[in-house]
Chain A
Amino acid sequence: MSTFPALDHLVRAVFALAVLATVSGALVAVLSARIIRSVAGLALCCVGLAGLYYFLHAPFLALMEILIYVGAVCVTIVFAVMLAEPDEPPAREPRCSRLLWGAAALVCSAAAFVAIGWAVFSHPWPAPAPQPPPDTVRGIGTAFLTTHALAFELVSVVLVVGILGALVVARLGRGRG
């Protein structure tokens, strides 16, 4: 029983907004020919996904989604776009090759969507809990240091190797420039 009379409708509207942002952002990212619009669509899609994570009672994941994907991935792509002369018109392949690749991509993606969609809608999945669990962030921190310590250390190693590799690659480019 909610205290505010229109609270259920408000929650439903915000959820629909998150779904709409995710779908429209994905479509813009996929269908746009200009890369900067694709990046904007990707950012919108990630913001919508963050909202969905919030509805799944995972606010920490929602913040991380915005921080990592919107704040790091999209900004990196924007940096790449700025370096790569964004006014350059996209190169086009012959019409036959475009149609062939487009049809193959469409068939693969449609097959994946139908297969997964059939599995999704033919199975009774457990519904999310109506109330958020208490102390989610504390539980994640405790899990990272106890039961999932190996995953935590593995992510740390991957990040360190990634940063060192990026530094080495960038330094090699400086030597040849």
Chain B
Amino acid sequence: MSFDHLNPHIYLGLAAFLLAAGIWVGAAAHVYRNVHLGEFRLGCRAEFRGDEQVFSLRERVTGQVCVLFIMGIAAAEVALALGICIAVYRHYRSIGSKEVAELRG
């Protein structure tokens, strides 16, 4: 297997690695109580879908439209996350899980 930019297996293997890393983070976030890394999980899944779409669809514009669709949804998630952070900070004067007891599992 050649290591160059024309080898599709490298892209897809990389996407599989990112997805596995995202799953590990999502499942292990309970260990570290690290809620922010959940975004990484979502991002990796989106990237995996994007790479898959870019490769699997013969019509490349359709694949890129799919990736942009996913990015738009990610942007909406970011807007909501920022709103939640601001609201929690205004209410508790902190968004640390130590102070915000309601966020504890």
Contacts and interface: CB of A to CB of B under 8 A. Distances in A.
A162 B87 contact: no
A159 interface: yes
Contacts of A127: 6-8
A40 interface: no
5 contacts: A80-B81, A84-B96, A108-B24, A130-B6, A151-B65
Interface in A1-20: 11-12, 15-16, 19
A166 B87 CA distance: 9
B4 to A, nearest CB: 6
A167 B87 CA distance: 9
Given A19-B10, A105-B24, A158 B34 contact: no
Q: Is the interface of A mostly helix, strand, loop or mixed?
A: helix
A104 B24 CA distance: 9
Contacts of B97: 91
Contact of A30 (B21, B72, B88): B21
Q: Is the interface of B mostly helix, strand, loop or mixed?
A: helix
B24 A173 contact: no
A79 B85 contact: yes
A109 B20 contact: yes
B61 A136 contact: yes
Contacts of A39: 36
A113 B28 contact: no
Contact of B27 (A77, A105, A167): A105
Contacts of A104: 27
Contact of A162 (B19, B21, B77): B77
Contact of B40 (A30, A64, A109, A158): A30
Contacts of A23: 14, 17
B95 A163 contact: no
A93 B29 CA distance: 12
B17 A101 contact: no
A22 B71 contact: no
Nearest to A160: B76
Given A79-B85, A91-B97, A166-B82, A11 B5 contact: yes
Given A90-B33, A101-B30, A127-B8, A84 B64 contact: no
